[in-house]
Amino acid sequence: MTEQLRRLGRRRGPAPEQQTGGLSEADAKLLEQAKARQRLEENFEAFPPRTERLGQHIKTMLGKSGVKGGRILEIGGRANPYKDWFPGFEYNCLDLEISEPGVIQGDITNCPEIESESFDAIISVDVFEHIREPWLAAPEIIRLLKPGGFTYHSTLFSWRYHPCPVDYWRYTPEALSFLFKDLRMMQAQFDTVERRRNLAGKGKHRVEPDAFGGFRENWRVFYAGVKEDPNAAKGVAALTARQQADAEARATGALDPSEAELKTVRDNPYPEED
């Protein structure tokens, strides 16, 4: 029995599943909601673990992008969580901290030591929420991508507070699309599979509620795109010029080129499982 059902049970006396009648309309609704939450938790348990599910999703999107091999960079993957998912690629990892041999120590918001256009694919999972200045990370990622290169980022719209080393941001699909607006967007959507993942649950997912009591309503969000335009922003240095051009476009009422693409995100905010 879930915590919600228990709580409702405590409030009303007998366990909710034993309550068959005599409930007010409001309590009947509460009971229905508690049961629905329990079903959602059980559904989540039916999905594969996070790394497996997201590894498969990245692989699917990578396949759709047409990038078939070469060099892949995982940002913030200090324990190399996705290393084995791309056997056709030379795997590299960049992180603020080194915990595994071969990890490049660096900051994705400013890494001039890494050559431009040196990766065929750049991915990250649960990293963008920890990047202090994500508006600097996107142009660096674009700079590091070869023309035709693929990028994928899964981050959080709603999640418990989890500093690693610092917890800065939460995102919508629109925010990610805006950061990567110099790319051709393949897809940017909410990912609700873990919505009722009970992080106060059992086994390896067991964690205490955070400082604010939070551990539920977990929504991911992801972005997948391709660098088609060889003249796309060339790193942080190109940002100011781009911002100026955007300001002029807004002043003249010109439509932001990403607006049409974002409309599809708004029309269909729920991801298909590939």
- Candidates 38, 89, 93, 126: give the one binding ligand SAM (CB under 6 A): 126
Q: Which is nearer to ligand SAM, 111 or 185 (CB)?
A: 111
- In whole angstroms, the minimum distance from the beta carbon of 192 to ligand SAM comes to 18
Nearest to 272 by CA among 86, 125, 60: 60
Q: Measure the CA–CA gap between 149 and 122, rounded to whole angstroms.
A: 8
Applying CB under 6 A, which part among 59-67, 91-99, 185-193, 215-223 lies near ligand SAM? 91-99
Strand-pairing partners, residue 92, are 73
Residues from 131 through 150 that contact ligand SAM (CB under 6 A): 131
- Candidates 5, 23, 40, 96: give the one binding ligand SAM (CB under 6 A): 96
- Candidates 125, 175, 193, 226: give the one binding ligand SAM (CB under 6 A): 125
- Candidates 107, 117, 174, 261: give the one binding ligand SAM (CB under 6 A): 107
Question: What's the one-letter identity of residue 160?
Answer: R
- In whole angstroms, the minimum distance from the beta carbon of 86 to ligand SAM comes to 14
- In whole angstroms, the minimum distance from the beta carbon of 59 to ligand SAM comes to 15
Residues from 148 through 167 that contact ligand SAM (CB under 6 A): 164
Q: Give the binding site for ligand SAM (CB under 6 A).
A: 75-78, 81, 94-97, 107-109, 125-127, 130-131, 164
